[in-house]
Amino acid sequence: MLHERIPNLAKLVEPDRVHKAVYTDPQLFDLEMERIHERYWIYCGHETQVKKPGDYYTVLVGRQPMIMVRGAEGEVNVLYNRCPHRGSMICGDVHGNTGEFFRCSYHAWTFNHDGKLKTIPMMEAGYAGTRWGRDNPDCNMKQAARVENYRGFVFASLAKDGPSLTEFLGPAKIAFDDICDRAPEGEVEVVPNCFRVIQNSNWKIFLENQLDALHPSVTHQSTGRAAHQVEKMIEKKTGKAPLSYHMLSAFATVTIDKWDNFQTINHPYGHCILTGYMGLRPQDPDTLAYEKTLTQAYGAKRKEEILSTNIHHVLIYPGLSVQSPLQQLRAVRPLGVNKTLTEIWHFRLKGAPEPIYRRSLAYYNLVNSPSTMVNADDLENFWKIQVGLTADGGDWVSFARHYGRDIEKNGVVETAEGMGTSEAPMRNQMKAWAQYMMAEK
């Protein structure tokens, strides 16, 4: 049946190139939603977004409007945002508190926080003798098939079978271990602000860019150079420029040849870890005070392990990018074949001194806010790619850089030394994509 709809699915992905249709074909987009986003684990939010019973956040899982809600017993539920009566959305706001129960604004059906029907007005008079009533599960708000929480990060899968969350994440779960372990209390707390930015491009283009170690010194050079000039100027005047300038100037000072010193480690399901540390462990008094709290919490040996974790960021396929050393996270919500929403959050390390939070905040404000001087150039590229791909000037997108030179061991693909700009992550993602897409069930 599938092969009638999309006859050449198997031919779209080759080891070192993919057909442009995977970014531009609306039919393929629908199939991606069905076979990837509405089947595997999608990040819904952090549990500290919904602290009190009744607190909720609405979220898109694939094409499905969902609600993440804190229940009376403290559990976090994920429900379809739909009234079983006539189909109206239950929550119309992005977030809020629903009180002791959900109440539909159309005919006042009410539901518990786990979606179970509570009351229908005049239930007896209206529904006696019909199939509708409290005993019929079709009268409940439907729950996501599976919900799992890893160290406070809540994921939902809309398929009842499949790998567990930790099986699915595999070694990519280091994203959450790294972000939490850096907190002396072993936990993070969300800072309640979400920046939302729309990309006029296919969702996979963002994922590919996140691990493209070659682009920063080209795409972001203007910002890097501008920041470097001002950084030098401040250093001349006061001796030391704030760390935030380094966050930007690195795009210029790390020249194109040096990015090969990074490494990507590519895992099953399309996940990928980009190593390379941006010099965020200076020996200033703030860092030393922070290191002391970590030593108190974990002991000297474990502290050293935690702080030397070599991660720039982690991509969790198909929709999450985590920058654990700076406690940032971007969730990717596909809106259409050429439109994608990113939701950008940052976190506080519980128990860490305030100046350490300020670093995370500086990065959030400078790089990830809607006034970003960095993503501005990425967004421009994404849009150009999306439009360029509609041209009949060629059918293929190349991922051939350092092809054939990666090191593969037990299904894990590592880039070879000095070849960090290998397009291995794109090859790995598209290999996983083909596996997801070809699996009928």
Partner 1 sequence: MAKKRAVTAKKKAAPKKTIDAQDAQHAVEQFLFRQAEFLDRKRWQDYIDLFSDDGVYWMPASPEQTTWDGTPAIFAEDKNLMTVRMKRVQHPDAWSQRPMWGTNHLVGNVTIEKASPNGDLVARSRFHMMELRRDTTRHFAGSYIHHLKKTPGGYRIKLQRVDMVNAQAPYDYVLQVWV
Query: Which residues are near partner 1 by CB under 8 A?
Result: 191, 193, 195-198, 200, 219, 221-223, 225-227, 229-230, 233-234, 245, 248, 341, 346, 354, 357-358, 361, 364-366, 369-373, 375-377, 379-381
Q: Which is nearer to partner 1, 113 or 220 (CB)?
A: 220
Minimum CB distance to partner 1, residue 195 (Å): 7
Is-contact 89 66, C-beta < 8 A? no
Minimum CB distance to partner 1, residue 327 (Å): 13
Minimum CB distance to partner 1, residue 212 (Å): 15
Q: Which is nearer to partner 1, 194 or 278 (CB)?
A: 194
Minimum CB distance to partner 1, residue 206 (Å): 14
Minimum CB distance to partner 1, residue 67 (Å): 19
Q: Which is nearer to partner 1, 267 or 348 (CB)?
A: 348
Q: Which is nearer to partner 1, 234 or 278 (CB)?
A: 234
Q: Beta strand pairing status for 195-199 and 188-190? A: unpaired
SS (H, E, C) the chain: CHHHHCCCHHHCEECCEEECHHHHCHHHHHHHHHHHHCCCCEEEEEHHHCCCCCEEEEEEECCEEEEEEECCCCCEEEEECCCCCCCCCCCCCCEEECCCCEECCCCCCEECCCCCEEECCCHHHHHCCCCCCCCCHHHCCCECCEEEEECCEEEEECCCCCCCHHHHHHHHHHHHHHHHHCCCCCCEEECCCCEEEEECCCHHHHHHHHCCCCCHHHHCHHHHHHHHHHHHHHHHHHCCCCHHHHHHHHHHHCCHHHHHHCCEEECHHHCEEECCCCCCCCCCHHHHHHHHHHHHHHCHHHHHHHHCCCCCEEEECCCEEEEHHHCEEEEEEEEECCEEEEEEEEEEECCCCHHHHHHHHHHHHHHCCCCCCCHHHHHHHHHHHHHHCCCCCCCEEECCCCCCCCEEECCEEECCCCCCCCCHHHHHHHHHHHHHHHCCC
Q: Which is nearer to partner 1, 123 or 214 (CB)?
A: 214
**Identity at 397, one-letter amino acid code:** V
Minimum CB distance to partner 1, residue 261 (Å): 23
Q: Which is nearer to partner 1, 367 or 413 (CB)?
A: 367
Residue 213: other Cβ atoms inside 10 A: 26
Q: Which is nearer to partner 1, 172 or 247 (CB)?
A: 247
Q: Which is nearer to partner 1, 164 or 222 (CB)?
A: 222
Minimum CB distance to partner 1, residue 167 (Å): 33
Minimum CB distance to partner 1, residue 60 (Å): 12
* Dihedral, CA of residue 84, residue 86, residue 89 and residue 91, to nearest 10: -70
Q: Which is nearer to partner 1, 219 or 264 (CB)?
A: 219
Total residue count of the chain as it appears in this document = 441
Q: Which is nearer to partner 1, 159 or 341 (CB)?
A: 341
Minimum CB distance to partner 1, residue 244 (Å): 8
Minimum CB distance to partner 1, residue 241 (Å): 8
